[in-house]
Amino acid sequence: MTKKKSLAVQEPPEAKPEPAPAREKVEETPFEAVASICGVLVVGLFILTFLAQNFLIPSGSMEKTLLVGDHLVVDRITLAPPSRWMPLVHYREPRRGDIVVFIKPSPEPEPDADGKPQYLFLVKRLIGVPGDHIHLRNGIVIVNGVAQAQPHAQPTTPQNYSEFLDEFPSVPPWPQPGGATESWAVDFPNHVVNGDLVVPPGMYFMMGDNRHDSLDSRFWGFVPRANVVGRPLFNYWSFKTPESVYDETGVGNRVAWMVHVALHFFTDTRWSRTFHLIR
């Protein structure tokens, strides 16, 4: 009896997948690179022009709320006059207590070195809206007969008391260099009723939180609605800076300050104020 040999059935080898063709590296042309950069610049310019703006605090008029050397991002939309081309954006009128960036009211802006009008941007706290009756008694702000709780404001003490500043408007402003303007001194009596300063339509009354070291509406009058630029949102960088730095001119002084910032960036940056919300 012959034995049958068992034949092993061999399966055909699996077909190896063919390697995918290598993708060709597409290099960006110079035109596309320039177009990308232009696109970024256009978006950045749009944001800085219409939505937000960088603002630097150059003086101590808002201490301790804002310090010299604070760099702020300012919202230019919320307090702007409503626009038809941006119907979905939230707008509102400025309110008492808002910290507001605005253009200093001036009959005629002073020209710069090139002869162009030079506008001075300021930041203060809004104290009175149109129709408000305002007066100060021993440094306490009283609006429409109600004393305002303002813990952010510098308190009045026997050492810093000033009749003009702390009993406003009982003492009329007087023209002086760096102080009250002549136009405000002349117009001032027209807005005082029974010892109160009455804010006219379309105007706002502003004061700095550092009440005894602030040139504000007590010195130069009301701020027109059209002068309101926006409101600070947050502090994105704060660097210890003396006020005298912003009074110095010349390329040498600027270069020296830039070197100082580079050398002391980590030690003189106020890290606790980074991304600090402004209230």
Q: What is the number of other CB atoms lying within 10 angstroms of the CB of residue 112?
A: 10
The type of residue at 254 is R
Token representation of residue 127: 């104290």
Predicted pLDDT at 200: 97
pLDDT given for residue 43 in this prediction: 45
Residue 142 token pair? 């009283």
Adjacent-strand bridge partners of 71: 56, 237
Q: Quick one: pLDDT at residue 25? A: 56
- Residue 258: both structure tokens together: 């830039």
Kindly state the greatest CA–CA separation across the chain.
137
Residue extents of the structural domains in the chain: 51-277
CB neighbours of residue 256 within 10 Å:
13
In this prediction, residue 17 carries a pLDDT of: 60
Give the 3-state secondary structure of residue 14: coil
Q: Give the span between the Cα atoms of 180 and 172, in whole angstroms.
A: 10
Which of 165, 102, 110 is CA-nearest to residue 138?
Answer: 165
In 3D space, the residue among 72, 124, 134, 130 whose CA is nearest the CA of residue 103 turns out to be 124
Residue 175's pLDDT is what?
81
Assigned token pair, 214: 């602030």
Q: Provide the residue-wise pLDDT of the chain in tens; the chain has 279 residues.
A: 555 554 445 555 555 566 655 555 556 676 555 555 555 444 444 444 445 577 889 999 999 899 999 999 999 888 877 666 556 667 789 999 999 999 998 766 666 666 676 788 999 999 999 999 999 999 999 999 999 998 999 999 999 999 999 999 999 998 876 677 888 999 999 999 999 999 999 999 999 999 999 999 999 999 999 999 999 999 999 999 998 887 787 888 889 989 999 999 999 999 999 998 998
For domain 51-277, say whether CATH 3.30.70.100 is its number: no
Question: What residues are paired with 76 via a beta bridge?
Answer: none
pLDDT of 79: 87
Tell me the three state secondary structure of residue 204.
strand
